Amino acid sequence: MIRLLLATTNAGKQRELRRLLARVAADVVTPGEIGLSIEVDEPYDTYAENAMAKADAYARASGLLSIADDSGIEVAALDWGPGVRSARWGEGRNAEKLLEALRDATDRRARMVCVLALARPGTPEPLVEAFTGIVDGTITHDHRGSGGFGYDPIFLVPGGLTTAEMAESEKDLVSHRGQAVAATMDRLRELLVEP
């Protein structure tokens, strides 16, 4: 069975991607499980460039088919930011900082964006492809739910629940990462059967 490397050290993303990729015929592994420790900068202004850089670096370092994610939240009242800077924007208290920034905002529209990049190791260059998932919603006024991670407790999807209040199977159908994995699936299955 071909090994598929999750090109992230983020435990929340690892759990979610493992769950989303459970139906593919691959041995899904993390960097820690194969003894790989690398740092990859994310200097770019687009999710795709950052995800592709990570997938490429992990595929080169491991020699394995690698899948990387870059994702973020975009909020209308913040001129559709923080975007690609979402993970670092709140300095460890992202959801709280976003709620503070929107304290007096009437326009609470938001969207979660995820770009997944697949990198197949090769000579001289890995083949890297990107796939996108987007879900529209709004920002709540307070934390709701105990599931998920990151911005999940304050991101309200149509239907009235935050992604932190949803069952994992329900969240996987509508989340930005779930949609990106769904978009990736046909190509991923092709790569997993190629020699």
CA–CA separation, 91 and 99 (whole Å): 14
pLDDT band at 193 (very low <50, low <70, confident <90, very high): confident
Lowest mean pLDDT among 141-150, 159-168, 186-195: 186-195
Q: Return the beta strands (E) in 52-194 as ranges.
A: 65-75, 81-82, 109-120, 127-139, 155-156
Q: pLDDT digit string (tens) for 81-125?
A: 999 998 888 777 889 999 999 999 999 999 999 999 999 988 676
* All residues at 6 or more sequence positions from 100 whose CB lies less than 8 Å from its CB, including other chains: none
Residues 43, 66 contacting (CB under 8 angstroms): no
Q: Which residue has tokens 């990107």?
A: 130
List beta partners, residue 137.
110
Query: What is the residue extent of each domain of the chain?
Result: 3-193
Q: pLDDT digit string (tens) for 25-84?
A: 999 999 999 999 999 988 899 999 999 999 999 999 999 999 999 999 999 999 999 999
Retrieve residue 149's tokens: 């991670």
Closest CA to 176 of 90, 70, 77, 76: 70
Q: Does residue 45 carry a catalytic annotation?
A: no
> Domain 3-193 maps to which CATH number in 3.40.50.2000, 3.90.950.10, 3.20.20.70, 1.10.10.10?
3.90.950.10
The active-site residue out of 56, 69, 70, 152 is 70
